[in-house]
Structure 1
């Protein structure tokens, strides 16, 4: 009997914490910038260059977490039948946290033993493990550490459905995830729909990122004979499978460096991916045809890659990722026409295949054996039938609301009503006014009263990047309206108009927020002296706002003012001074002033930067810089493992 229930899951938890109040005007997007596409075909080159965003606006960054954990309860939804038990983490993007095959007791996913945010997502905070649902733009989705709207409904055949949905603000679309486990199903079925309510084409992106345990006997298989390789050298290469350079990349513990491999699946082949152990068993994911791409991500066996695995979880819990997406690679966006709805169905379950065949040295034998077992587990015709059946209940209204997401869908409904635009038209995914909160309040005031107000001594609670708000802001005037108007101009690349609006905001009422925005604009346009001046003005008005102190310090260090940075840091309280990012900044500034003793003391005491970014080189570069500066006094010391987050072993001496 299929069942859906709510419960809680207790995990050692580092809370996501408060958002950074400073809008990421010119940054915060993903690392996946491609510098060499010479081996890509015309379609791929077009899609790689299409739809890139200048920042993650209107979202704010989530960098308020630490490395300190305490037991905490997390709300979860559990779907269960006789074969599978699926657990969804409702407060973290609806992530499928666990999938257990009940007859064997086997966990099919990598189930992280801790809830530890780290800086890998578009907004910063990200969790390793389970299945993450990624939408909008390249990278880990803005809602990955946010709650989704969640409800219960019942299919016409009586099967309970877990529905999760949200309004995605970068693209202005609605996405809906319907998970269900029919009574006799051997697989978890997940039906996904994206609705573009706009009257324009929008760039679209979707990848389901699936973490599974990594071990020497695990092999990743997909129905391809070649792959597109992308790594931290930012070049894309077309390679043969499975061992283009003598190392079998489908056995991830044999690879040295972190890398992405996008399987080049011919159009006529079924779309699936699996990771199988020595017994021929493991998770398989397959889908209907719209979900075209399949990917393998591995951390590699270098010191930095192994450190990242432990940083995201705990020692002894290694994982790899098998992923599925709309495009052939994760470097692309696809054009989604105005008013379009895109749907597909995914399936997750235990694959059991002939171990000798799937681990054969003959690649064709291996992948064909895996597909043969998949065809027995779930024929493609059965999956296609599930997609067709979903059309009869996809717009069915929920039976019961289980959890609430953001109020942005409700605000968009108000905006559309006020301007006479068509509604969102998603009856099965409602956005009631009860979800409106403090973040939406200023914008409701603007819509219904023509003004937008807030305490100038506090950072605005939210921002917009949709030009649809421009006319309302221009009509409202006032310091806050001009501040937000400048943000809209900056997002569209009109730097002159942005500067004018922020300067007007300062004339109406001086705030650190307008000065800070002017500083980021000056830095972005290559005027470090003007940026330093604007940051100094902002710091006079908000001298102990830690995100502002750190952001300004980065600019001042690059502009050659390390003494000034140290002076700012000394005004912080003891708790702020103890944070890892502040300690790194102090060490860097001390080294730049020539105070190698102060830098060395901080390094040897230990600097733990909770929000160190994937691909960030700051820790090991600081260590080596200090070693070079003191090489005539003390012999060089090896890089401590705590500072080694290098993604490529080629970085070993830098």
Structure 2
């Protein structure tokens, strides 16, 4: 009997170990029925200008009908992600499974409205925009897609298309690991042409507005599309704009948050003790934006226009540049950028839920924490995003004063109140810098100008050239030609302007 026991126990241990490592994420196609308010066939005459050669959709309806939509579903033990290849390849929504709560807004109706560059657009989820400012021409039409089960147990859905206005190609891999409570979006963008193209990329995530929502965006400034600068998070009138309900003034809100060198941002619904977070390398995605339709009637009418039952939403967005620069931004430090010929850009983002932390002020793909100083102690409330078996340490003035090993599964919580004494600065670290909090700042402050020199002469040779260069990067070639002509009137031998004039002639096929 002893020999049999000695044989069975190791076999059970091996079987359990194999079972753990054999677990894989799932990927499959599911037909999801949504009340759908469709759009018409396109105008047969293509639009001239910035979106040529695309046609525009101009017909919409107030009458909906149930329609089945193809969804690619990515699922593991912790989260479930829906992707709609027939609607621009957007992430239609995402759910944290232990609570059943959405950490990405899932719109249960598809109400297409005239919002995007080609007209048709629907709200919610996460959409990918490439090319020129605005919702991309592909945002409401089918894109290419492929599904893959990966050797590491993760699953991937690849989406992509060609932007006909510039000839650039974009691809996105939406990947779900088997043992993490996050999914990633990895983008490739390639310019195969022989000319510089306009450079615009923003990923727009939709999230519900109700539930005492707090915007968690480390920074010191908010900038507008034209480079206008305001204070953040408390504005010039003493309003704490971090909370959605405090934005109940004026019309639409478009805040690009700047001033903190941090890779994370997100939101927390305090009524639900639940949140959502985004992380990327800061250098890859320095643009961090909040979009609010507005709490006035002007904005709230869009709730009924865009959904039947899911309520008002907000957008938390990430971008390759600091702001979604309009024409006026050219005269601020936040200028446009060109996409060099033959180049390829690649970047990666993480999206994940948070629960049970009462908010948060530091986040990474490993964990999210709310660290609060109170009455000689440090309160730590943490939610694991990846499996953890690491030591958390607290340092005061460089000396370790507390440590504890954390063994947590994804979405499990940890909470401690740690006694602290003295005035030396505190620093809390998980493992090998998997998560780091420093006293006195939830971000590393940036030192960079937010306003252009007021005495710069935009009518000078260099000023006119800069305007022409900026206009080319916005595909405003007629206006760019006028600026370069004026520049060369001042200095006929200004070589950068001569070179830009040659490029404009080439674009016009005047060789």
Using structure 2 for the length normalisation, give the TM-score.
Answer: 0.63
Q: Cα RMSD over matched residues?
A: 2.7
Instruction: Give the C-alpha shift of residue 315 in structure 1.
Output: 6.1
Instruction: Give the C-alpha shift of residue 222 in structure 1.
Output: 1.3
Q: What residue is the counterpart of 1:190 in the other structure?
A: 185
1:72-113 Cα shifts (integer Å, max 9, x gaps): 111110011111110011111011111011111111122222
Task: Indicate which of 11, 16, 25 corresponds to 2:34.
Answer: 11
Instruction: Give the C-alpha shift of residue 183 in structure 1.
Output: 0.8
Query: What SS class does the counterpart of residue 208 from structure 1 fall into?
Result: strand
1:482-507 Cα shifts (integer Å, max 9, x gaps): xxxxxxxx99659xxxxxxxxxxxxx
Task: Indicate which of 326, 347, 351 corresponds to 2:354.
Answer: 351
Matches within 5 A, 1:58-77: 58-77=53-72
Matched, 1:329 2:352: no
Instruction: Give the C-alpha shift of residue 23 in structure 1.
Output: 2.2
Matched, 1:270 2:273: no
Instruction: Give the C-alpha shift of residue 270 in structure 1.
Output: 2.5
Q: In the aligned structure 2, how far is the partner of 1:103 from the partner of 1:137?
A: 39
Task: Indicate which of 205, 214, 217 corresponds to 2:209.
Answer: 214
Q: What residue is the counterpart of 1:152 in the other structure?
A: 147
Matches within 5 A, 1:34-113: 54-113=49-108
Between 1 and 2, higher relative CO (CA 8 Å, sep ≥ 6) is seen in 1
Q: In the aligned structure 1, how far is the partner of 2:148 from the partner of 2:211?
A: 42
More helix by share: 1
Q: What residue is the counterpart of 2:297 in the other structure?
A: 303
Q: In the aligned structure 2, how far is the partner of 1:316 from the partner of 1:236?
A: 33
Instruction: Give the C-alpha shift of residue 246 in structure 1.
Output: 2.2
Q: In the aligned structure 2, how far is the partner of 1:173 from the partner of 1:373?
A: 45
CA 1:368–1:222: 2 relative to 1, 3 Å: farther
Is this contact kept in 2: 1:271–1:292, CA < 8 A? Answer: no
Is this contact kept in 1: 2:27–2:149, CA < 8 A? Answer: no
Q: In the aligned structure 2, how far is the partner of 1:240 from the partner of 1:157?
A: 42
Matches within 5 A, 1:288-437: 288=281, 289-314=283-308, 317-331=311-325, 333-352=336-355, 354-355=357-358, 377=385
1:531-576 Cα shifts (integer Å, max 9, x gaps): xxxxxxxxxxxxxxxxxxxxxxxxxxxxxxxxxxxxxxxxxxxxxx
Q: What residue is the counterpart of 1:120 in the other structure?
A: 115
Query: What SS class does the counterpart of residue 138 from structure 1 fall into?
Result: coil
Q: After alignment, is 250-259 or 234-243 more displaced?
A: 234-243
Q: In the aligned structure 1, how far is the partner of 2:306 from the partner of 2:291?
A: 15
Q: In the aligned structure 2, how far is the partner of 1:374 from the partner of 1:172?
A: 45
Is this contact kept in 1: 2:72–2:83, CA < 8 A? Answer: yes
Query: What SS class does the counterpart of residue 237 from structure 2 fall into?
Result: coil
Instruction: Give the C-alpha shift of residue 207 in structure 1.
Output: 0.8
Q: What residue is the counterpart of 2:246 in the other structure?
A: 254
Q: What residue is the counterpart of 1:560 in the other structure?
A: none
Q: What residue is the counterpart of 1:516 in the other structure?
A: none
Instruction: Give the C-alpha shift of residue 374 in structure 1.
Output: 8.5
CA 1:290–1:87: 2 relative to 1, 3 Å: same
CA 1:316–1:97: 2 relative to 1, 3 Å: closer
Task: Indicate which of 260, 285, 308 corresponds to 2:278.
Answer: 285
Q: What residue is the counterpart of 2:44 in the other structure?
A: 21
Q: In the aligned structure 2, how far is the partner of 1:96 from the partner of 1:214?
A: 18
Query: What SS class does the counterpart of residue 166 from structure 1 fall into?
Result: strand
| Runs of 5+ unmatched residues, structure 1 | 26-53, 359-365, 380-489, 495-654
CA 1:357–1:4: 2 relative to 1, 3 Å: closer
Q: In the aligned structure 1, how far is the partner of 2:264 from the partner of 2:360?
A: 20
Q: What residue is the counterpart of 1:469 in the other structure?
A: none
Is this contact kept in 1: 2:95–2:103, CA < 8 A? Answer: yes
Q: In the aligned structure 1, how far is the partner of 2:254 from the partner of 2:340?
A: 29
| Runs of 5+ unmatched residues, structure 2 | 1-23, 326-334, 362-368, 373-379, 388-474, 480-511
More strand by share: 2
Query: What SS class does the counterpart of residue 306 from structure 1 fall into?
Result: helix
Instruction: Give the C-alpha shift of residue 243 in structure 1.
Output: 3.6
Is this contact kept in 2: 1:274–1:285, CA < 8 A? Answer: no
Using structure 1 for the length normalisation, give the TM-score.
Answer: 0.49
Count of paired positions: 344
CA 1:113–1:154: 2 relative to 1, 3 Å: closer
Q: In the aligned structure 2, how far is the partner of 1:174 from the partner of 1:367?
A: 40
